[in-house]
Amino acid sequence: MILILGGTAEARALAQRLDDAGRPVISSLAGRVARPRLPAGETRIGGFGGPDRLATWLRDHDIDAVVDATHPFAARISASAAVAAPAAGVPLMRLERPGWTAGPDDDWHRVPDLDAAAAAITRHGARRVFLTSGRQGLAAFAPLADPWFLIRCVDPPETDLPARHEVLLDRGPYTLDGERELLERHRIDLLVTKDSGGDHTAPKLDAARERGIPVVVVDRPPRPAVPTVPTVEEALAWLP
């Protein structure tokens, strides 16, 4: 029995490959999205209650291996898994897509967290900001009174927001033409994003490059030192 943590595209692809091969798999989703894309195989939704309870759950469900395929910014569950899996005697591996890399024509400004991203908006004197950092942590931008924000997320935000904003509920993958149209229609002069990596949300970076728009990129949080692979194929090769 394989436990996959996370609902990323890589997590769903791995679950599909295992299910197609007739291997039992359970995918655990955090439950932060109202209508998640459910993977193949068995699914559970919600947290475990910390590393001790996760370790107990692994033992109780006879889990043979854990693949942490959570979002690059889901630091809490990764930290719990890094403690729980060894405690339960279960091998753990992280499946993480590579981050984005700026090209010679990109105007990127890397920051360590969302608070620093909010400060960067002020430094740039941005007037119209495309905010694509997800709905978690949007309160960091609420104190900014002057810029107008186009806030894109999957579900409606449930926190304080900037005074001047529009919420766009949408889910990737996105297209380059669609991102071009958004930037032009809303007269965007700064893009804020997390370094999520992958192809599904990368077109906004291409559109920003074309228009010469600066991009504030929030770096990924530190991860526990566990074996890590970047592809589903390598994850399959690692599994017992």
Cβ–Cβ under 8 Å, residues 27 and 77: no
Instruction: Give the start-to-end residue ranges of the domains of the chain.
Output: 2-97+222-238, 108-218
Tens-place pLDDT, residues 147-168: 999 999 999 999 999 999 999 9
More confident residue, 30 or 230: 230
pLDDT(18) > 70: yes
Topology agreement, domain 2-97+222-238 and domain 108-218: yes
Top-level CATH class of 2-97+222-238? alpha beta
Domain 108-218 has CATH 3.40.50.720: yes
Cβ–Cβ under 8 Å, residues 136 and 158: no
pLDDT at residue number 34: 63
pLDDT band at 119 (very low <50, low <70, confident <90, very high): very high
Selection from 71, 119, 74, 66 nearest residue 226 by Cα? 66
At 204, the amino acid letter reads: K
Selection from 130, 136, 170, 172 nearest residue 151 by Cα? 130
Helices 51-60 and 75-88: crossing angle, nearest 10°? 50
- Going 192 to 182 to 136 to 47, the CA torsion angle's sign is negative
At 104, the amino acid letter reads: P
pLDDT(169) > 70: yes
Average pLDDT over residues 50-74: 96
What rounded mean pLDDT belongs to the chain?
95
